[in-house]
Structure formats: C-alpha cells, structure tokens
Amino acid sequence: MSLRVLVCCGSGGVGKTTASAALAMQAALTGQRVAVLTIDPAKRLADSLGIGPLSNTPQRVPLDQLGIETSGHLDALMLDMKATWDGVVRRFGGSPEAQQRILNNRYYGLASTRLAGSHEYMAMQRLYELYESGDYDLILLDTPPTRHAMEFLSAPQRLNGLFDEGVMHWLSLPRSKRGFAALERGSEVVVSVLKRLIGAGTMEEIAEFFDAMQGMWGGFQERSSAVEALLASNETRFVLVTTPAPAARKEAQEFADLLAETKRPFGGFVVNRVVPAPTDKARVSSADLPERPNSVPQDTWEAASLTLLGAAQRQQVLSDGEAQAMAELREQAQGSVPLWPVPELEADVHDLRSLAVLAGHLAPAIEALKQA
C-alpha cells in the first residue's frame, strides 16, 4: 500500500504548519496531487501560499510561479471547525428535520467550537473526507497547538467519551429528574464540559441539545473508527516536528514513545530551525583578517574585526550545540529513525519562494517517506 497521509505533530510553535506546507510543496513538485490541511496558519505563511485567505475548500497554490515544471499540484485548505461540524451533522444527523434541530440548537454553536478535543477531531474528519474523495495522492495534516503532544492522539477518545454511560443514563431519566446531581455519575470530562455549557444556559436546554445529538452519535463513532484505522494503517506516517531546543526535543521524544505504544506508524523527525555550521569563510581567526586599509582608522578596524570574529564564533558554538542535540535525539530514538534537519531562515516564511527553500531541504524526507 502506498503512502497517502502524513500527519505533522509537535509542540507549540516549533513549525508544524510550516513543515506541513513545505512537505506538501515538495511532494507536489515531485509530481504528486497533494492537499495540505492547515490549522490556524500564521498570516504570512497563509499569504505565502499565494492564494489569499485560506478556506475550508481546497484552493490551488500557484506553483507555476516558482518556475519549476511539475505534473503534480498542491491544494491548500484551512480547517474551519464550524463548517466541518455542520458537514458531519448533515451526513449523520438523520432526516432533514432532525439535522435542522441540531443546527438550530443554541448550544450547538458553542459545543462545536468548545468541546474538548473538538478541534483535533474535526481535523481528522476533514482529513478523512479528503482521503475518501480520491482527489489526492497525498494529504498533509497539520495539527493544532497542544499543551502536550499526546493531546492530539487522545482527542477522539475524549470526544467519544462525551456519550459515556453516565450521560446515557442521564438522558434516559425523565426530564424533571435530569438535575446536576444525576449527571455527576458521568465521567469527569463530560461533567466539566457540561458545566461549561450549562454556565450559559439551563439544564433543560442542554438536555435538548443532547437529545438532538444522540441520534447521530452512532454514525459519528463509526466514522471515527474508520479515521482511527486509517491513522494506524500503512498508508499513514506521523512526522514529529521539533527544534533542537531541549524542551521541544523532550516532547518530540515523548510523542515518539506514545506512537510506538499505540502502534501508530512513525516516519521520522523534522528538526526545524537548525543553525547552519559557519561556512569556511566565516570560520575566521584574527590571522585570516586582511590588512587594514589605510583609509580605515585603527580603532574602527579593531571594533569591526572583533564583531566579525564574535559572530562567527557564536554561530559555531550554536551550531556545535545543535549538532550535539541532533546526536542526542538520534540516540534516544534508538534504531534507525530518520532525522531531517531544516535550517533557520533569516526571515520567517513570507512567500512561495521562501517556502520552496524549506521544501528543498525536505526533499530527502519526501523521498524516504514515499518508499516507506
């Protein structure tokens, strides 16, 4: 079976969205039909895809502007939680009247954006829709910033837990008995979610919401099993994005362990924002400095030389430190887990071309993952 899905995970701000877009671009430049589903991309990154505001429907990225011939193409989307939830309701919500009852419920809007795990869940739903459409050879899934890397993987269970036995029992009670105390039998997650919702309304209204949702839960769960199966299959690889910083590395390693535990296929680490080793030219010592031209005063010359030497040394120290960090990551990861370094650019990703620079650095990653 060939690779169809790549999921980019990692802790906050390490470059998940950037790496997803760059990997997607690289795959498209090697001839594949690719979609990248981004989550809240930084404005400049979204702009750099050259397609104006991203939306829930795929938009073609103008790769021709790069002047590289390819038979592949790249579509970009941004996850729209509300639109994806609405799609799920339309699909599993039963009769048109039943669907409307859910869509019109005052709590639906609130629940569809605030339920714990909802963001992750909807990202997976949208991924599955793209997968099922058959329009793409490869789909890149960016993931939301999570406090802990594991939150992404446990999201579906948390959301499924919403209709646990406690809640089912509560729903089976006569309406007059659906008090808060009866709900406390539910799991902690459910109770905390409901408390949040209830803060904004009455018990009666909440009960109505759950009544309306109950009908579609079966379909919803079936669907999440299908997504789970896809994410555990040989068609998927998880790519862990990290920086050389110790905290990010630690979290990436924890995530790798969790992937192994839950038997999800791990592709490799993208190590982003690596400081390149100084070029030989920058590896200067005072002996390498040219003669001071007569037109430059001695003190100005000395100050400039010190600045230059200092910068070269700092870059060397940083780069050595990061080489060490990569070695540690490799050692912790055991076995032959690939590491794909991506250099720190001088500016953030601000146009198609700067994204293409990162895409170029990820060519070995796409090459290796396609063969996995």
Ligand X SMILES: Nc1ncnc2c1ncn2[C@@H]1O[C@H](COP(=O)(O)OP(=O)(O)OP(=O)(O)O)[C@@H](O)[C@H]1O
Q: Which residues are near Mg ion by CB under 5 A?
A: 16-17
Task: From the list Mg ion, ligand X, none, pick the one residue 15 interacts with, judged by a Cβ distance below 5 to 8 Å according to partner type.
Answer: ligand X
Q: How far is the CB of 174 from Mg ion (least distance, A)?
A: 46
Q: Which of 140, 258, 342, 352 is in the footprint of ligand X by CB under 6 A?
A: 342
Q: Is the separation of the CB atoms in 201 and 147 below 8 Å? A: no
Asked if 62 is part of the footprint of ligand X (rule: CB under 6 A), the reply reads: no
* Binding pattern for the stretch 227-266 against ligand X, x by CB under 6 A and - elsewhere: ----------------------------------------
Q: Which of 156, 355, 335, 173 is nearest to 260 (CA)?
A: 335
Which residues, numbered 124-153, are part of the site for ligand X (CB under 6 A)? 145
Minimal distance, residue 121 CB to ligand X, in Å: 17
Nearer residue to ligand X within complex by CB, 12 or 109: 12
Q: Does 16 bind ligand X (CB under 6 A)?
A: yes
Interface with ligand X (CB under 6 A), residue from 6, 7, 9, 14: 14
**How far is CA 60 from each of CA 9, 129, 148, 166, rounded to the nearest angstrom?**
24, 18, 33, 46
36-55 positions binding ligand X, by CB under 6 A: 42, 45
* Cβ closest to ligand X, residue 37 vs residue 358: 358
Please list every residue from 194 through 233 that binds ligand X, using CB under 6 A.
none
Tokens of 265: 């296929």
Q: How far is the CB of 246 from ligand X (least distance, A)?
A: 17
- Binding site partner of 349, from Mg ion, ligand X, none, Cβ cut-off 5-8 A by kind: ligand X
Judged by CB under 6 A, which stretch of 7-15, 63-71, 114-122, 182-190 contacts ligand X?
Answer: 7-15
Residue 231: partners with Cβ closer than 8 Å, 6 or more residues away: 5, 7, 124, 264
Residue 18 CB, nearest approach to Mg ion (Å): 8
Task: Tell me whether residue 101 or residue 119 sits nearer to Mg ion (CB atom).
Answer: 119
Residue 14, binding choice from ligand X, Mg ion, none, Cβ under 5 to 8 Å by partner class: ligand X
Distances (CA, A) of 370 to 128, 238, 287: 20, 13, 49
In the complex with ligand X, the residue whose CB is nearer, 171 or 339, is 339
Kindly state whether residue 98 participates in binding ligand X, applying the rule CB under 6 A: no
Q: For 359-371, b where at least 16 C-beta lie within 10 A, e where not — what string?
A: bebbeebbeebee
Count of residues that interact with ligand X, criterion CB under 6 A: 18
Q: Which does 211 bind (CB under 5 to 8 A by kind): ligand X, Mg ion, none?
A: none
CB of 227 to ligand X, least distance (A): 21
Residue with tokens 């912790």: 332
Judged by beta carbon, residue 94 or residue 145, the one nearer ligand X is: 145
Q: Give the C-alpha separation, 67 to 51, whole Å.
A: 17
In the sheet that holds 73-78, the strands lie side by side as 59-60, 73-78, 33-38, 138-142, 5-9, 236-242, 266-274, 339-343
Q: Is 278 in the site for ligand X (CB under 6 A)?
A: no
Residue of 66, 284, 345, 363 interacting with ligand X (CB under 6 A)? 345
342 binds, among Mg ion, ligand X, none (CB under 5 to 8 A by kind): ligand X
CB 212 within 8 A of CB 105: yes
Nearest of 351, 369, 347 to residue 34 by alpha carbon: 369
CB closer to ligand X, 12 vs 62: 12
SS3 336: coil
Give the residue among 54, 87, 57, 59 at the shortest CA–CA distance from 74.
Answer: 59
Alpha helices (runs of H) in the chain, residue ranges in sequence order: 16-29, 43-48, 81-92, 96-104, 106-114, 118-133, 150-160, 165-172, 180-183, 188-198, 203-232, 246-261, 298-333, 352-361, 363-371
41 vs 186, which CB is nearer to ligand X? Answer: 41
Q: Token pair for residue 170?
A: 């509560």
Residues near 267 by beta carbon (within 8 Å), at least 6 away in sequence: 6, 237, 238, 239, 338, 365, 368, 369, 372
Give residues in contact with ligand X (CB under 6 A): 12-18, 42, 45, 145, 272-273, 342, 344-345, 348-349, 358
